[in-house]
Structure 1
Amino acid sequence: MKNTICLLLISFFYFPLMAQNYFTTQYPQVWERASAYTLAVAEAMPEENYGFKPEKDAMTFGGQLLHIVDNISFLTRLISGESKSFYDRSTAGALSKEQILEILKNANAYVGQIIMDISNDNLNAPIEFRNLEMTRENIFYLLRDHQVHHRGQCIIYLRMEGVNAPPYVGW
């Protein structure tokens, strides 16, 4: 009986510590690789195709990338409390490929810095998002999932335009 209780107590503390350890030791590199892959996809599309969209109601290729940035602005506010904008949305249609790449780099670097700076207490503090209670750590995963979703759409746009997509980069 003592052994069972001891194992339960160890499990109770061990798994949450391992999850924290994963985030602090592994997630910064996961974010860096994911960001670099998104940038490689963005760089692959020729500038003249940044206005491409597969149908009239779809976002353009450049619009997909700026949407990733807009989501970063929105979700990082839930983590840091700071409202950060990376570009003037009223000029989005006039931005060049190089400007969009720079905006994307800056937004992803901002998330990377927040990842490096966040304390475990702040990371695990409960917040409310869309009527759900979650932690800031959940928001970091949401940031990555959202970027992956739109990067996948960008890869389809590349293929539709006859551009080879960069090889997949995983964990």
Structure 2
Amino acid sequence: MKNTVFLSLFAVFSFQLYAQDSLFLKETLQKWQNAASYTLEVAQAMPLEKFDFKPMDEERSFGQQLVHIGENMTWLAGDYLAKQKFNHPLKGKKELTPVEIIELLKASLAFAQEAIAHTSPDSLSVTKSFFAGPMSRRQIIALMHDHHTHHRGQLLVYLRLNGIKAPKYRGW
């Protein structure tokens, strides 16, 4: 009798966790899609001839920031979420044109989105080794959002320093 009650309670608890994790992934994917679209609008707001702009010598240029966002998203998604690594003809190319940077960014954000979309709810708690200490897949997804948002914020400042009005923000 005790075993039956325990197993029943465990099943209910497990189902509730699975449902919560499914909702988390659904909401995360929606947020990711909006964030990726907004980042691409920001990238396209900068005139192509200004992709080399940087506010200070020690900072990344506008274009380098976009490449960095893409590289970070594909690294995190490829190493911690997806079953395969990001592969694109422009990956690793030293000198990219602004048009190639946007193409690579689109592909990188789409790869990360697919990795999130194919993450199973029951794998979110799986912990993986990370340079800053063990992290769950849920934490990796949160880190992806945080890092993406951080660098997009820098890009918004770059636009304003060039007298360009940023695209209208949209959150969720």
User: TM (normalized to structure 2)?
Assistant: 0.83
Q: Whole-Å Cα distance in 2 between the matches of residues 169 and 131 of structure 1?
A: 31
Does the 8 Å contact 2:128/2:137 carry over to 1? yes
**Distance verdict in 2 for CA 1:97–1:90, change over 3 Å:** closer
- 1:92-107 equivalence runs, <5 A: 93=95, 95-107=96-108
RMSD over aligned Cα, in angstroms? 2.2
Shift of 1:154: 0.3
Query: CA offset at residue 72 of structure 1?
Result: 1.4
Deviant stretches of 4+, over 4 Å: 12-15
1:1-46: CA deviation from partner (whole Å, max 9, x where unpaired): xxxxxxxx79x66874454133232111110000000000000000
- What are structure 2's unaligned runs of at least 5 residues? 1-8
What runs of 5+ residues in structure 1 fail to find an aligned partner? 1-8
- Cα offset for 1:124? 2.2
Query: How far apart, in 1, do the equivalents of 2:113 and 2:91 lie?
Result: 22
Between the aligned partners of 1:82 and 1:50, the Cα distance in structure 2 is: 31
- Residue 54 (structure 2) aligns with: 53
Whether 2:115 is the aligned partner of 1:89: answer: no
Is the deviation greater in 127-136 or in 109-118?
A: 127-136
User: TM-score if structure 1 supplies the norm length?
Assistant: 0.84
Alignment map for 1:3-42 (pairs within 5 Å): 16-17=17-18, 19-42=20-43
Aligned residue in 2 for 1:79: 81
Which has the larger displacement, 73-82 or 151-160? 73-82
Deviation string 1:93-147 (CA, Å, 9 cap, x unpaired) is 3x22221111111111111111111212322211121242221121111111111
Contact (CA 8 Å) 2:32, 2:113: kept in 1 or not?
yes
Equivalenced residue count is: 161
